[in-house]
Amino acid sequence: MTPGARIQASAEILDEILAGVPAEKALTGWARRSRFAGSKDRAAVRDHVFQALRCRRSYACLGGGETGRALMLGALRAGGRDPAEVFTGEGHSPAVLSDAEQAAGQAPETLGDRFDLPDWMIPHFEGALGAKWCAAAQALTGRAPVVLRVNLRKATVAVALAALAEDGVEAKPAEIADTALVVCAGARRVAASRAYREGLIELQDGSSQAAMECLAVPPGARVLDYCAGGGGKVLALAARAEAEWFAHDAAPARMRDLPDRARRAGVCVTLLEEAVKAGSFDLVLCDVPCSGSGTWRRTPDAKWRMTPERLSELTEVQAAILDRAAGLVTPGGRLAYATCSLFCEENEAQVEAFVRRQPDWRLATQRHWTVSDQGDGFFLAIFER
Ligand SMILES: C[S@@+](CC[C@H](N)C(=O)[O-])C[C@H]1O[C@@H](n2cnc3c(N)ncnc32)[C@H](O)[C@@H]1O
């Protein structure tokens, strides 16, 4: 595909997403219909679409409207490129710009336009991050790093780096966590690499790894990942300690890949249908469902789908999970609460409300990770009683 044809395809996919189709579904549908598109084309189109979603408001200003075509026009203007070079009407390139399109477009002025956020969200960013909110919002408009976790059960950092290099994946250690490697080149080769297939590495964001490093696990402890999903957190913990590992999720189907991942990692994780029937635990981790605001550069359409009502529903679910999980902790044990959100309502406010509701618990420690070139926004609180 020519660069123009990729832009045209991206504009059409964006129109579907703007009409309500989830981004992944729209991209997959396009790839299925477009057998002529090679892997480089698919990757380029995906990059265009995701970048336009990250910067939807500022590109809409620059492009003069909120259609796929206007967003791609805005993207070219934002990148300092002359759109006329791409909007040529030749082959499968977008049609030549009309006079109205050439005249339309202005620099983003409002805060929401400049920082690519829905207006209602700005007080939430400001409330949580103070003067740093602009930098965080800005960071969410860029691409996320690809970060790997070295599985210390199977490899050292040096061994993992060498194995990745054999398969053309270039990575370097990241300061954020002892086990974190940031991929510098060959990210698309990770999944097929020997290092991945043999469980020397896993894909895991740097902040999640750093947070799991903060959770000390005594030998022989019974540890429950109460909102396990694909099991990324319990696998990170299990790579570093000898303990009994359990995983639970309200939607058990989300744990479907966990047995394979655990086998590859060389650890044993017992899946629980009903955690309450499995006795008590020395450590219960609640990696709760959240807005995901710390990860929106990876899932940029989620930024625009979030509403104040949804945020409020999520905070209720989070509080209920904490209360339920607290009842599963053995006397003298610990309860950990984690989100990949930047918002105070989902982090500190939840912590404060929990210790008010359950005064036999006290906050031992809490920590934030900001959106960076090594990790997403993340929050961890550890309670003791
Ligand atoms: C942030 S995700 C977990 C991600 C996972 N820990 C990982 O590292 O891959 C939150 C998970 O909580 C689950 N969940 C939602 N409500 C729940 C509830 N009431 N009790 C337990 N799990 C719940 C969701 O199904 C989802 O898989």
ipTM, 2 dp: 0.99
Instruction: Characterise 65 by phi-psi region: left (phi > 0), alpha (psi -120 to 50), beta (else).
Output: left
Q: Going by CATH, does the domain composed of 214-384 fall within 3.50.50.60?
A: no
- Assign domain 147-206 to its CATH superfamily: Sun protein; domain 3 (3.30.70.1170)
Using the mean position of ligand 1's atoms as its centre, give its distance from the Cα of residue 198 in Å.
26
pLDDT band with cut points at 50, 70 and 90 for residue 276: confident
Give the pLDDT confidence score for residue 277 in this predicted structure.
86
Q: To the nearest 10°, the Cα dihedral for 123, 127, 131, 134? A: -40
Length of the chain, in residues? 385
Q: Break the chain into its structural domains and give their ranges.
A: 3-109, 147-206, 214-384
Whole-number Å distance, alpha carbon 273 to ligand 1 midpoint, is 13
Mutate to test the pocket of ligand 1, among 147, 215, 227 (most ligand atoms within 8 A of CB): 227
Residue 275 has pLDDT above 90, yes or no: no
pLDDT category, 143, cuts 50, 70, 90?
Answer: very high
What's the CA angle centered on 89, arms 88 and 92, to 5 degrees? 110
Q: Which atom of ligand 1 has the smallest separation from the CA of 255? A: 27
Residue 362: pLDDT band (50, 70, 90) is: very high
CA of 225 to the centre of ligand 1 (A): 9
Q: Nearest to residue 288, comparing CAs of 238, 345, 242, 331?
A: 345
Q: How far is residue 295's CA from residue 316's CA, in Å, rounded to a whole number?
A: 21
Phi and psi torsions of 299, nearest 5°? -130, 65
Q: What is the pLDDT of residue 278?
A: 86
pLDDT tens per residue, range 2-55: 999 999 999 999 999 999 999 999 999 999 999 999 999 999 999 999 999 999
The pLDDT, as a whole number, for residue 89 is 95
Binding residues for S-adenosyl-L-methionine: 249, 287
Q: Whose CA is nearest to atom 27 of ligand 1?
A: 229
Q: What is the pLDDT of residues 97-135, one digit of tens each?
A: 999 999 999 999 999 999 999 999 999 999 999 999 999
pLDDT of residue 249: 98
For residues 218 and 385, the answer to whether their CB atoms sit within 8 Å is no
Q: Name the residue of 246, 255, 288 to mutate for ligand 1: max ligand atoms within 8 A of Cβ.
A: 288
Active site residue 286: no
Write down the mean pLDDT value for the chain. Answer: 97
Model confidence pLDDT, tens digit, residues 214-264: 999 999 999 999 999 999 999 999 999 999 999 999 999 999 999 999 999
| Selection from 291, 285, 377 nearest residue 329 by Cα | 285
Contact residues of ligand 1, CB 6 A cut-off: 226-230, 232-233, 249-251, 254, 287, 289, 317, 321
The H or E element containing residue 366 is: strand 362-369
Q: How far is the CA of 252 from the centre of ligand 1 (A)?
A: 9
**Alpha carbon distance 283, 329 (integer Å):** 6
pLDDT at 94: 96
